Structure 1
């Protein structure tokens, strides 16, 4: 973790003066989260939002890999799917987007900041552009409350101006902390929530786990959870398999890994070991265009022009996808490949049609981002983002093989 001496000194001083650390030995700090699907414009618009997001992430990742700290816009608020968490900041409570593709935590897009008596104005300008929106403001230090009673001292942005957040209050950034470099004039690295939990003795590891129960709902119900500091034994079965972050740019600048994907009992190759993103802010599962063509042929699926999704006559002919990550094979069942039929009409599709969640990333293999494992993938597996060891872990859950669609 890198940061400027001035900001780090301010945070450490504030921590000593203001914080009352709670030492958590092995148990995680938990925070309920809910998914919200942006249905505006149907699945065609959802796909366009997803693609705009990871295309901008790709551009910014390439820029950072050559030490160019240009603040390239990254869509986050107008994507198809978002996680929402209720977080206390200062004397207020805020509904924040949980995003592993960005790292700044900030508020003020909807509700104003209500300082607590512990509030410190750092005087540091801060701002992030997300393509279709963004904010500019000033960095503050105050208490941030996770769950019912865990408080830490956190540096966060307070927006003076913001656009595009449609009633939401801001972002809880869980990406790698060096993504914050471009948000301040001096290219400071601002410690994330996971950084500060360790610095203040609340947790022992800069780690966050994400779990969700597969659902047919468009969102709003808290059926997911974030686990800070340690994996939650109740959220997965078997062992967690860890794999190092990829070294291939631009995926290496985010939470990126290498993986292999095959289809069916014959293990038809779709993607050889290659790099891509693991991203809470992307809705569908995207694969490189040549892999997508092989998948379409293997499933006998037809591209539906209205929705932009593949469609099949019957799920009975579908077979599982298999992801090899860290030397272990994970099964993504036929049912997991189906868009929830209860949401067909909401997203502009036919009520009784069977649509698939695998889609075309738009570029051939070898681009540096050959897949994006989005929400539809992550809701089937427990996922651990481990900053201390620069690795991501995956495990099966009690719901991995469920038929819910």
Structure 2
């Protein structure tokens, strides 16, 4: 029997390294995290993420498939779950299908502690069978509660760890601040980020946070969705008035097919048949910009191109250049625009459930 402790909330973010002590006045806690792609070539990563995108669309259609990240962005907390004197077995079955994995088991209610923050009566899925999990004991998630729909027998949705921290008065606001900085060199296993539960860390961004309403347009409203005013490459407009989701569990930036084709045309690039990445014989020089509301978030070539120091990791050809920007698909109703990790490594992001909004600022 395989036991995987899974608090029933999805879109897990990162591997826990340690946590700072809780400041009862600030009522926030900061958790250092590492972002791990795993031992994947570029081709394997693209295939895995395209399967993830398909899963987004499947959830939008069925309303009953929970989605989490793969590729190792997970919280590590303790040992595999062992029911104890604080546990209550509800007897309800739990079943979850991911982009490339699944588990089924039984729900327990128990106490969960992360970096000094404790939730009583947290729903936990104790997995009896699982597939697609490598090197982890379980998953803790920080995504919107709607993603738990249909995962536990007899329940519509299940309060997340953050929901319970807020409702139990441990944190004053249900806000999650996320910081990552780009991987350096060929090392893809750094402790290169942090989560701040209950607020933000002002030392990790510069300037002011600009906030935007969480999308109310289905299916983007199921996730951390946002309306994008425009996407441009240099002076070329790639897309206007489109919807996207912000997702720490996706590595690349996926834009609608029409925008992607315009990006390739403007840069003189093509799609590499070997890796599935955008490939260029001459390095692009233009700036790729995502505009939210009236605020522009530019990425320079150094930020949207894969560093050559990582070519050996991803199995890339040193004669060419490759982009983190990829084709998200042609059907908007299946979710085809995902603002992923390679954008978030350059901008601090805030997921504010209390005020139903997302906020961004330039990473410090």
TM-score (norm 2): 0.87
CA deviations 1:113-164 (Å, max 9, x no partner) are 13454223233221211253211112222232222x3322222111111111
Does residue 262 (structure 1) correspond to residue 231 (structure 2)? The answer is yes
What displacement does 1:296 show? 0.8
Give unmatched runs, 5+ long, in structure 1: 1-21, 65-70, 88-92, 95-111, 399-405
Indicate if the aligned counterparts of 1:256 and 1:277 stay in contact, CA closer than 8 A.
yes
Change in Cα spacing, 1:262 to 1:137, as seen in structure 2 (3 Å) is closer
Distance 2:176 2:38 in 1: 25
In the alignment of these two chains, the number of paired residues is: 341
Correspondence list, 1:373-392, <5 A: 373-392=339-358
Distance 1:173 1:242 in 2: 23
Partner of 2:9: none
Partner of 1:121: 89
Indicate if the aligned counterparts of 2:214 and 2:221 stay in contact, CA closer than 8 A.
yes
Correspondence list, 1:287-298, <5 A: 287-298=255-266
Q: How large is the Cα RMSD of the aligned pairs?
A: 2.1
Correspondence list, 1:200-279, <5 A: 200-216=168-184, 217-266=186-235, 268-279=236-247
What displacement does 1:180 show? 1.3
Q: Secondary structure at the match of 2:195?
A: strand
Indicate if the aligned counterparts of 1:75 and 1:133 stay in contact, CA closer than 8 A.
no
Pick aligned residue for 2:310 from 343, 350, 354: 343
Partner of 1:83: 73
Indicate if the aligned counterparts of 2:65 and 2:151 stay in contact, CA closer than 8 A.
no
Indicate if the aligned counterparts of 2:328 and 2:337 stay in contact, CA closer than 8 A.
yes
Distance 1:72 1:122 in 2: 21
Partner of 1:396: 362
Distance 1:138 1:346 in 2: 39
Indicate if the aligned counterparts of 1:27 and 1:232 stay in contact, CA closer than 8 A.
no
Distance 1:75 1:234 in 2: 29
Correspondence list, 1:308-323, <5 A: 308-315=276-283, 317-323=284-290
What displacement does 1:282 show? 1.0
Partner of 1:38: 38
Distance 2:68 2:112 in 1: 25
Indicate if the aligned counterparts of 1:177 and 1:192 stay in contact, CA closer than 8 A.
yes
Change in Cα spacing, 1:265 to 1:343, as seen in structure 2 (3 Å) is closer
Partner of 1:17: none
Change in Cα spacing, 1:140 to 1:116, as seen in structure 2 (3 Å) is same
Q: Secondary structure at the match of 2:133?
A: coil
CA deviations 1:252-271 (Å, max 9, x no partner) are 111111113433442x2111
Does residue 355 (structure 1) correspond to residue 322 (structure 2)? The answer is yes
Distance 1:186 1:23 in 2: 38
TM-score (norm 1): 0.78
Partner of 1:55: 54
Q: Secondary structure at the match of 1:183?
A: coil
Pick aligned residue for 2:269 from 286, 290, 301: 301
Q: Secondary structure at the match of 2:182?
A: coil
Distance 1:156 1:326 in 2: 38
What displacement does 1:224 show? 1.0
Distance 1:301 1:166 in 2: 35
Correspondence list, 1:151-190, <5 A: 151-153=118-120, 154-190=122-158
Does residue 330 (structure 1) correspond to residue 297 (structure 2)? The answer is yes
